[in-house]
């Protein structure tokens, strides 16, 4: 497993900035964590996260509008999930998955669970191992496991086989 993958980490709720961020700060913060793991569709070395993308998610009501042009922890955590999952799911599907997660848990807990499961999925896939079967997972936990595995599998194919 390469060091970049071994060190993959998404900030947990408590690690997200305690101050609200302007959009430029938000883009920089997201890119700091995601630049090596997500790709822009056009592959022309353009930014993977732009202000326009974020503004479109607000206009489409996928995330709430910023408050006084500032984005809080809820916005930041939602955007981490969106930018990761849009690698394998449509925006409508992501919206449904986010709603499922926050219907069953407080947003902080749902986000932290997403981060933990994603990191675990990436480690397992890159170690070329399989998940241990766990019949005690709730339907929501099982769906989350499959969602993050789909991203981990795509990342594996890109990094190992396609060398992106």
Residue among 70, 75, 153 nearest 111 (CA): 75
What pLDDT does 128 receive?
85
Domain ranges of the chain: 3-161
pLDDT tens by residue, 46-78: 688 999 999 999 999 999 999 999 999 999 999
List pLDDT tens digits, range 63-119: 999 999 999 999 999 999 999 999 999 999 999 999 999 998 999 999 999 999 999
Q: What is the mean pLDDT of the chain?
A: 90
Q: Is 67 helix (H, G, I), strand (E, B) or coil?
A: strand
């Amino acid at each position: 497993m390469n060091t970049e993958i071994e060190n993959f980490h998404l900030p947990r709720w408590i690690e997200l900035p305690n101050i609200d961020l302007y959009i430029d700060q938000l883009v920089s913060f997201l890119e700091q964590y995601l630049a090596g793991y997500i790709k822009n569709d056009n592959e022309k070395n353009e930014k993977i996260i732009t202000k326009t993308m974020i503004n479109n998610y607000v206009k489409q009501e996928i995330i709430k509008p910023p408050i006084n042009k500032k984005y809080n922890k809820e916005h930041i955590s939602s955007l981490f999930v969106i930018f990761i999952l849009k690698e394998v799911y449509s925006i409508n599907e992501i919206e449904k998955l986010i709603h499922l997660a926050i219907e069953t848990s407080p947003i902080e807990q749902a986000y932290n669970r997403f981060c933990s499961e994603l990191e675990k999925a990436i480690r397992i896939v890159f170690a070329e191992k399989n998940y241990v079967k766990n019949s005690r997972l709730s339907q929501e936990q099982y769906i989350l496991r499959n969602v993050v595995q789909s991203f981990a599998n795509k990342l594996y194919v890109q990094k190992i086989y396609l060398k992106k």
